[in-house]
Amino acid sequence: MVTRFSASEARLKAENAQKTLEEQRLREKELRKTLAKERAFVREGFDKQRETVISAAIDGHNEIEVESIFLFRELVEVGVQVVEEGLVKKQLVVTGKVVGVDELKEEILQFFDMFIDAAKGDLKSYYDGFQRFHRLNYDALYEALNSDWSWSEFYGDEIYADEVPQELRDKYSDYIERINERVRAYKGAFEEDDHYEDDDDLITGEYLFSDDDEEMDVLKPSVEGNKLKIRWANEAESTFMNDPLLSDVGLAWLSTYRGQSLIEEVFESLSSAAEMGKSTLKLDFSLSKDGWYFLADGRKVFSCMPDELVAIIARENFTIDDTVSTQKSYAIKVSW
């Protein structure tokens, strides 16, 4: 029997297909709206966070505690520290740099290669060639890394220890020590720690976030009761290289003497103008070979990039009427 397809069935199929397509279109539209709202929420949160951080630096602080951190990677990328304090994952710190176990092993091999490259000219003759020199010392490094003894370190192979003169060993001792500094940290990562909690490898301390951590729009404490902090350098003699204020360099400069002096000069100029009965003032800046300067009553005060000051002035409820910029000058017109 031949199956027939009627016009009414065709119309029904078409109507159902159109209905399905319309429902899909509406779902996608709602999804786009939701994503747009989420992006706007995150960006607004980051902008407010930026103001909070800069305000804290202006007040002379070098860290703030927050309930959540927006786009933490954008902070990490400019050198600002994002820290969780409390019960956190264990990290390794070598000469001030936080590294993971895999990264640490890569550094060990990098410093080993540097040692081999630097010493090959002096030492390969003791091994009848470069290949044997490299292989025997690599085997010694491998043994040190994988030894069950926590104190085991790399001091070269037996030929290096017994036949290479002491003056040559002294010549390359700095390379050996840089390798062993990381060997000690690498082996220490696998030692038992009395502060571990259960099997989660958590310790009481600080966790410093890096680019290796999972990206997330809004960072929250991983354990209830932990604290999140945003931290930057605290250098009394910090110099400024015209980086953005929202950077480790910029915040360090802003929160210490030189940045504080600029802020005081800017607001002192506004205060003096108000005392003279003025309701507007043009703040002038000029660009020299070593950076921007604020022109304050005939004096030149070293400045950050002038456009960075607009938000700082506006946060005190001044009105920014206009900004005028050229390659060598910048002006902020302020009223109150």
- For 215-227, what is each residue's pLDDT tens digit? 888 999 988 889 9
Question: What is the tens place of the pLDDT at every residue in 79-107?
Answer: 899 999 888 876 655 544 555 666 778 88
Q: Which two tokens stand for residue 32?
A: 């786009």
Comparing 187 with 66, which gets the higher pLDDT? 66
Question: What is the tens place of the pLDDT at every residue in 36-60?
Answer: 888 888 889 998 999 899 989 988 8
Q: What is the mean pLDDT of residues 318-332?
A: 94
Comparing 314 with 10, which gets the higher pLDDT? 314
126 touches 163 (CB < 8 A): yes
Contacts of 225 (CB under 8 A, 6+ apart): 86, 87
The band of 248, judged by pLDDT with boundaries at 50, 70 and 90, is confident
Could you give the percent of the chain with pLDDT greater than 90? 27
Q: Is 196's pLDDT higher than 50?
A: no
